[in-house]
Structure formats: structure tokens, C-alpha cells
Structure 1
């Protein structure tokens, strides 16, 4: 039958069947010649796929689009540059390139071209990690073969002296007593979210998206439906969290949006790709009030990881908690609380956090502000009462 052009309004659509594949999709253009070129390319692609298989024709941008459909973060995959409004990211850099043709050297070259002066850590976070997440997703969809990709390595040796360097906030762990001092300088609502991060190791964007219905306090377990890997996972709840989370769960279940965490204004946190996003204002204020400037939302993830290692937790258990492991067994038991993970997370110390003023009755502190926040001094007044 082949593919034909049809017109709906002013836009051309492709319709028909090729090699058993039924197609009905927009070309996204009003130009008939361009639409016909798109039709021809689509038809040839389906014929080639039928003859050689999906792995022979699947492209990186197709894999990236499929990955994005899972709800996974896409900031470094496809975004608009603030400077000139031009689309950028991995999907643009590898657009049209077949997965089967991409080599390690192509990935390394893309990293250098996208971020020519970036540090090793930045390249890993903004290029290699999202690239590997897309590739693993594509492999699960049988769009390509599973592969091991190398990330930039740290330089060997200890005789290299660096002068006048600065460490980016959030790239190193801190002591829990130190973290508690910082969180104590935050308004209660963002403080609850930051405390949650310090006892789960979640990525900030995962916490922003949490819904009350996915938290089971009684079983010390919750489910992250959308993660950086594009796969859901179950996460253990520290016993300390179980003491005050029920109030947040109850609030979330009674709200239409179901959000577990809310701002002091009572609004759910926006889903901001990567980094602190919706917590930036709260972090900035806490730094000013506490004098502590080396803590950000991602500090919590590094702190949990290091705390589990210090506590002697097996690397496999640690990786499952942090979402590094994505094997089929882990995904199959997403909703099933796992005792070894709960036992491991409970090894994190919480003494200093237990002294935060809102812990005993969190619902009484919803919407309150830290002292020094505008003209309101809710926490200060409450302490004096």
C-alpha cells in the first residue's frame, strides 16, 4: 500500500501501511515538497527496519524521545539555550545518528564539544550519565545492544597541585550534625524536604515528584515512579522519617494534586530538571542565616552514600537504595518492602535532626517561615511561646 500524504487543515500527514507497520502521523509542515521528502524517508526507514531489524535503523533521538516519554529528566537531553533560544543537548548533538553507529569516541567528542571547559564531574553529570540512561533504556526496548560506556577517569597520582580552585556545593558529603544546623535555619516546609533527602538519598527532582499515595509509612517503604534511569524503584524509609511523615502523607492524600511536599505557600514543588530547582530560594536563605555555604540539595545524596559506606553496608544494597542498580529483580519487587534495605538505611544517625522544632508536630508548622524571612518570624515566635 505504501505511505501517502493527506492534508488536515494546513498541515500534511503521513498515512498508510509499509511492511506491516500502520502509520498515521503529522509531518509537522505545510510545505508539500518537504512533507513528501519526510514521507519518502519514513517509508524507506520502515522497509529497512523490516529487512534488517530495529537495531539496524533506530536512532539516538528516537531513543531519547522514548526515554523522555517515561517521565525521566530531560534537561541535558533536549533544552533551549538561554543565550540564543537555540535547542541544545544530547538529542540535538546525536540527531539522526543510528545507535548502531555510535562509538565511545563519538560520546567523548560530543562531551568536549557540548562543554569544552567543563570539569570531569560536570561532564559525567551532564553528558555521560544521561547518555548511558538513554542507551540502557534503548537496550531494554531492543533498539540496540547493551554496552558498557566509559566515563572520564580521575587523573592518577598525588603530585598534582591545584591552586585557587573551588569546590562546587553539593559534590561532597557532610556530617549529619553539620547538616542539621543548616536545615534548622530553613523554614519548616523546605526543611522537611531537605531532611527527607538526607535520610533517603533521593535526587531532588525525585522528591519533588513524590505523591502521598506512593508512601507506606507502616511498612517503611515508598516508590519512586519516575527516576533518572527511567525505571521505577522502591526505597526504604528511615525509622526517624516514619515519626513525622504521616502528617505529610495525610495532607497529600486530601489534596487534589497528591504532592507529598509543599512550599510554605502550600504549593507543590515544580518539577525542575536537575539540581535544587524549587529549593533555591530556601537554600539561599538558610546559607545567609546559618553561615553554612557548602550545602545544597545534592549534598544529601552524597552524605547518604558515604554514611552507608561508613556503616558497612554492602555496595549492592547501597546502590539499590540510591537507584544505581536497575536489574530486573529490583524492578519486579518495586512495591515490596525489602528488609535488608530498611535495615541498612536505619544505620544513618539522626540524633541532631530529631531536635528540629517541627519534628514532634509537623502539621502545626505547615506554612510557617524561618526567622529573618521578610517580616515574619514564625519560628522565633514559636520558640518563645
Structure 2
């Protein structure tokens, strides 16, 4: 088994954290406890020493816990805030559970405890199965457990609704002035809403009619895109050329002489969301006559409120671009390259076979021959 001298708690210059140092079962240890509390560090020392001893006797697979595997999973690569949010309840549920005891039955029990009754298969897959699979795969590659074989619930193919040119025109006209350029940009470029809302003027060349989109979701790649006439028209209507392209208001305060002295602020973009356009989006859809339903909600103060929930969400504009593009060009590879998708399968999912009779309507829209009421906001 090798010599065993045990672990001791030591300090390190330049930090207030306590460290573990020593040799257990032939394994040299020098690692941080992550705490500045001596008593807590001592408890960690006892636990860590037992863990190493057990591993030397029974093997790693018998002693590694979910918490340990999760810590390692988070250390090897920076994970998004959304991923960390999904993993937090799993850590609270499994915690010190040994990986060897986490099987399909244990995961099924976690789904029952962590998810609301009646949760969809898609949410079960996204909130529990997928993150559990990722952590267990990470652990299996390090020999801490067997490769996971969790059952994946059957998820119906996602619906990808899109807008017809006349619906898009009605939507843009019905939108608040600050939202119109955003909608036009996404419809004519095909980027994700979050990518549009985070676009800076430094990435836009109006004279050259092109822009650089930061594909933050796909490893930080950049995608050059051509700006169709309708986009150039929309961007030229904006009263500023510095900072973020799209703002929560086109104009804010005015000085005594009537000149604008402050513009609206930029959007706070969420990686998994679209920033703060949902309310304006819902209002625009309702005024444009797009499909949806009224739902009642009870506020924290007990007051009932009716809210219009449109069938379409902002991400549908990306589906719309793909559908329009295929309608005009009938070229999957060209569409894949313009939008930055990595597989033709993604293109086939988003691009619907819209009737060729809409081809001229799409071209008129993209060429700026349709009056969208953009005007000149400056």
C-alpha cells in the first residue's frame, strides 16, 4: 500500500487559505482546502485522508463522490452561468453520494424531486439528464466511474415557426421605434437575438455594407455578414454611431435648446436569453395581429394581471431568415455558410420549404422596397 505519514494543515505565504500537505498511501498531497477557517480545514483534512486511503484499498470508483466529480468538471473548463445554475440543484441533491451509487434509478428519483410535476420530457432532458451525463462522462474519462448509460426521454421535434413577409412587415411597423431596427437586423442577417443586441458600432461598416457578428455561443468565432439594403436603411435611421448599435431608447434627455444630450443605454444581453425586449416584443406582436393567447397571472401582491403571450418568440426571426433565404436561393450550403451553422442538419431544421410565390415578396423586403416606417430617428 506504500508508506503513510498522514496529512497536516499548513499555511502558505501570500494567502490566508489553509493547505493540505503530506503523504497518504504513497500519494504526495499539496492542495488547497479553499477555506481560511482552521477548524473547517481540519475537517477537510480528515475527510481527504480517509478518501485517499479508501481509494488505495477499494479503488477510485468506490470512493469518488458526485461533489468531487463536479468540482473537477468546473475546474477543467470555464462553464457558463446557465450551466452552473443547472448544476447547483444537482449538487445539492447528490452531494457526497458516491458515483458508483448513481444509476438510472437514482437519476429518476432526482427528476421527481427537482422538477415540478408534469415537467416536459424536453425539460427533464435539459435540466437533469444532460448535465448529469456531462459530469459522469467527465468522471468516466478519469476512471472514477463507468461510462453513463442514462435513458434519454423521447423529445418531440421542436417547432420552428417563421413569419411570412407580410407578417414581418406588420410586426416591424407595430414595434416601438427603438425595437424596429433590431427586428430588421435579425430578419435580414439571421443572427441570434443576443448576438444582435450585443453588436457594437465598431463591428459595423455601413459604407461597405457589412458587419462582424460575434458568435459567442460557438466558441467565440466571428462571422462576417453582408448587410442587405433594408439593414443599411434601418441602421442609418439611428441617431448615433458610437457604442452599442441597438439601445433601449433612441433618445433620452434633451437640453434646454432641444438637442439630445444622452442616448438610451445598451441592452444587457443574457447568453441564454435575448436581453430586455420581451415586453416590447409582446406588445408589437399583439398590435401586429400575430397569433397568441391571453394568460392570467397573479402578482406577488395578489393582483390578477392579463398578459398577451404571442406564439412567436424573438428567436423565430432566425428561423424566418433561414426560410426566406432558402426560398430565394434553394442552396443549403450557401445558407449554412451565411448563418454560421456547423451542420446541414441544423439548416434543414430551420429552413422551411416556403412556397416560391413568396420569392418576390422576400426580395422586395430585403432590398428595402417595402415601407417599414423606419424613417429617420435622428
Q: TM-score category by the smaller chain? A: 0.5 to 0.7
> 1:243 deviation in Å?
1.9
Q: Does 1:296 align with 2:313?
A: yes
Counterpart in the other structure of 2:169: 180
Residues in 2 aligned to 1:112 and 1:146: alpha-carbon distance in whole angstroms? 23
Residues in 2 aligned to 1:174 and 1:185: alpha-carbon distance in whole angstroms? 14
* Residue correspondence of structure 1 range 66-77 to structure 2 within 5 A: 69=78, 72=80, 74-75=81-82, 77=84
Question: Is the CA contact (8 Å cut-off) linking 2:160 and 2:316 kept in structure 1?
Answer: yes
Q: Do the aligned partners of residues 94 and 172 (structure 1) sit closer, same or farther apart at CA in structure 2, a change above 3 Å counting?
A: farther
Q: Does 1:261 align with 2:246?
A: yes
Counterpart in the other structure of 1:344: none
* Residue correspondence of structure 1 range 84-163 to structure 2 within 5 A: 88-89=88-89, 92=92, 110=110, 113-115=113-115, 116-123=117-124, 126=127, 152-154=153-155
Q: Does 1:365 align with 2:354?
A: no
Counterpart in the other structure of 2:18: 13
> 1:3 deviation in Å?
6.4
Question: Is the CA contact (8 Å cut-off) linking 1:308 and 1:348 kept in structure 2?
Answer: no
Residues in 2 aligned to 1:97 and 1:203: alpha-carbon distance in whole angstroms? 39
Q: Does 1:234 align with 2:205?
A: no
Q: Does 1:191 align with 2:180?
A: yes
Calculate the TM-score normalised by the size of structure 1: 0.56
Q: Does 1:321 align with 2:339?
A: yes
> 1:267 deviation in Å?
0.9
The one of 341, 346, 351 aligned to 2:364 = 351
Q: Does 1:209 align with 2:221?
A: no
Question: Is the CA contact (8 Å cut-off) linking 1:6 and 1:12 kept in structure 2?
Answer: yes
The one of 78, 81, 88 aligned to 2:85 = 78
Counterpart in the other structure of 1:161: none
Which structure 2 residue ranges, 5 or more long, are not aligned?
Answer: 1-5, 250-262, 291-309, 344-359
Question: Is the CA contact (8 Å cut-off) linking 1:222 and 1:235 kept in structure 2?
Answer: yes
Give the length in aligned residue pairs.
Answer: 305
Instruction: Using CA pairs under 8 Å that are at least 6 residues apart, name the structure with larger relative contact order, 1 or 2.
Output: 1
Calculate the TM-score normalised by the size of structure 2: 0.57
Q: Do the aligned partners of residues 313 and 137 (structure 1) sit closer, same or farther apart at CA in structure 2, a change above 3 Å counting?
A: farther
Q: Do the aligned partners of residues 348 and 287 (structure 1) sit closer, same or farther apart at CA in structure 2, a change above 3 Å counting?
A: closer
Cα shift readout 1:87-118 (whole Å, capped 9, x = no counterpart):
95455556567889977777676555543422
Root-mean-square deviation (CA), in Å? 5.4
Counterpart in the other structure of 2:69: 59
Counterpart in the other structure of 1:33: 39
Cα shift readout 1:151-185 (whole Å, capped 9, x = no counterpart):
533569xxxxxxxxxxx9x8522323312311221
For the residue of structure 2 that corresponds to 1:297, the secondary structure is coil
Cα shift readout 1:2-59 (whole Å, capped 9, x = no counterpart):
6634499x975336698788645632x64x333223345567889989x98xxx9972
Question: Is the CA contact (8 Å cut-off) linking 1:21 and 1:46 kept in structure 2?
Answer: no
Counterpart in the other structure of 2:353: none
